[in-house]
Amino acid sequence: MNSSRIRFLFALLCIIAFCGAVQATNLLITVQDSLDNSTIPHATVMLNGVNVGMTDNAGQFLIQSGQGDLNLLISMHGYADWSGIVGGNVTNLSVTLNRQSLVVNVSLFDSNSLAPVSGASLFLTSSNSSQTAVSDATGSASFGVTSFTFYLLNITAPNYQPRSETIEVEDQNQNVQYWLLSENQYSFVVKDANSLAPVPGAVISVNGVLVGTTDSRGVLIFPISRNTPVSIQATKSGYQTLNQILTISTNEAVDPITLTPVPVTGFILVFDQQNKPISGASVSLDGTLLTNTTEFGRATLQDLTPGTYTVVVSKAGYSPVSQQISIVNESSEFPVVLSPASVNQPLYVQDPDQKNVAGATVMLNGAVMGTTDSHGQMEIQITYNTANNITVTDAGYVPQTVQQEVSFGNTTSPLTITLQRNMDWGFVTLVGIGILIVLFIFAVIRLAGRRNRHHVIKRNEI
């Protein structure tokens, strides 16, 4: 009996020890690159569809095993996914990820004309592959590549200098552009030193010989000797002449030239509406106050570069004027006319019974401004510091004129104008005619009465 019990306890202890040993089993996963066998850190590890972590900097991840088969998925951006079933008794697993297949699109252009370069030979190599292509009519060629790979691209084309470039492919398709240098042509690119805008029409001379003028892009393409000192001169009206001596190597294709504009002076001439000069007017250029006009209404704008500016002229008592000016030479003059400042004047037109008079005509200093609305109201602009004559007329009313003067800077109050009704002369005439008729009838009756009395007297005498 005791021996049976001892055997049972021993078997139970063996089973417990075995289960503990099984539970203590771990699986070490190592993730590597299929091309160079380098370890891949930060790869995602999924167990039975559940994200359980990422590989460390050594490309490893430790997972508890010993619980039956494991359904694993290993993924990393730029690589194809790996999946598999791993037995529960496996303690080490090496996973190799294949890099993704991607595309590199190459576009080639002439560095001078910017036109596509067709027929160029392209040779793309990496540590374990090489491939060739020829650029098509659009100057394009494509290569199949793998992610996270360095490539060397060699380009050759007739009449162009060969070019070599390194392309580092990450985890996406890439588009690259290259400009090929002509073997015998050179580009002069002329720009404004201040605005960096292209300068068309600039004259280029090489070794004292005129070779041409820049186009609308500020570019001139011309064959030039290389590895030999040459004298280059660039001139343009309104700019300072540039002289330089260059030795152009075989790797150079562009000479960036900047021309400095010659300083110019502009004149602002300020007048009032009667063509009289206005002195003391402030003149601002592009938001900066520069000067005031003289007694002759003249302001001088010195040391400016040719170009377009916004000038603002202002003076108390006048409405400010803003306008654009283009200064191109020393004699540029720009007249500015200032108008007296004005203020809004509300009007109310009514009759003697204080009823609104709609459609009444309003005139300011003899000029018609408009008519009152259905409420007998209207607003006009009157000039400061001026005796403004406001006249209101309407059929059936006597015209009414009032004078309104407002000091500069003050506001106005509504102005009420009362129109008196016209006398109806037609009615008066009719009444007069009626009275005359009555008087005439009365006179006839009286005359007839007198005749009757005379007749009676004569009969009595007989």
The fraction of the chain above a pLDDT of 90, given in percent, is: 45
Residue 14 is predicted with a pLDDT of: 53
Q: Which CATH number fits domain 264-337: 3.40.50.970, 2.60.40.1120, 1.20.1050.10, 1.20.210.10?
A: 2.60.40.1120
Residue 67 is predicted with a pLDDT of: 63
Please state the rounded mean pLDDT for residues 92-96: 91
Please state the rounded mean pLDDT for residues 183-195: 84
Residue 293 is predicted with a pLDDT of: 93
Measure Cα distances from 370 to 137, 341, 365, 384 in Å.
Answer: 69, 21, 13, 20
Confidence of residue 363 (pLDDT cuts 50, 70, 90): very high
* Planar angle of CA 80, 86, 89, nearest 5 degrees: 150
The fraction of the chain above a pLDDT of 70, given in percent, is: 88
Residue 132 is predicted with a pLDDT of: 96
In order, the DSSP letters of 94-129 are: EEEEPBPEEEEEEEEEETTT--B--S-EEEEE-SS-
Confidence of residue 238 (pLDDT cuts 50, 70, 90): confident
> In this structure, is the dihedral angle defined by the CA atoms of residues 288, 293, 297 and 301, taken in order, positive or negative?
negative
Sequence ranges of the domains in the chain: 2-97, 101-180, 191-259, 264-337, 342-421, 423-462
Q: What is the pLDDT of residues 105-160, one digit of tens each?
A: 999 998 777 889 999 999 999 988 899 999 999 999 999 999 989 999 999 998 88
Q: DSSP class of residue 353? A: T
Residue 440 is predicted with a pLDDT of: 78
| Identical fold between 101-180 and 264-337 | yes
Look at 266 and 14; give whichever has higher pLDDT.
266
Q: Which CATH number fits domain 2-97: 1.10.300.10, 2.60.40.1120, 2.60.120.10, 3.40.50.2000?
A: 2.60.40.1120
For the cut 90, the answer to whether the pLDDT of residue 39 exceeds it is yes
Q: Which CATH number fits domain 101-180: 2.60.40.10, 3.40.430.10, 2.40.10.220, 1.10.3720.10?
A: 2.60.40.10
> If you compute the radius of gyration of the chain from its CA atoms, what whole number of angstroms results?
51
Token reading at 137:
């009519």
Residue 160 is predicted with a pLDDT of: 83
Residue 21 is predicted with a pLDDT of: 46
Question: Average model confidence (pLDDT) for the chain?
Answer: 85
User: What's the CATH number for 342-421?
Assistant: 2.60.40.1120
Confidence of residue 459 (pLDDT cuts 50, 70, 90): very low
Q: Which CATH class is domain 191-259?
A: mainly beta
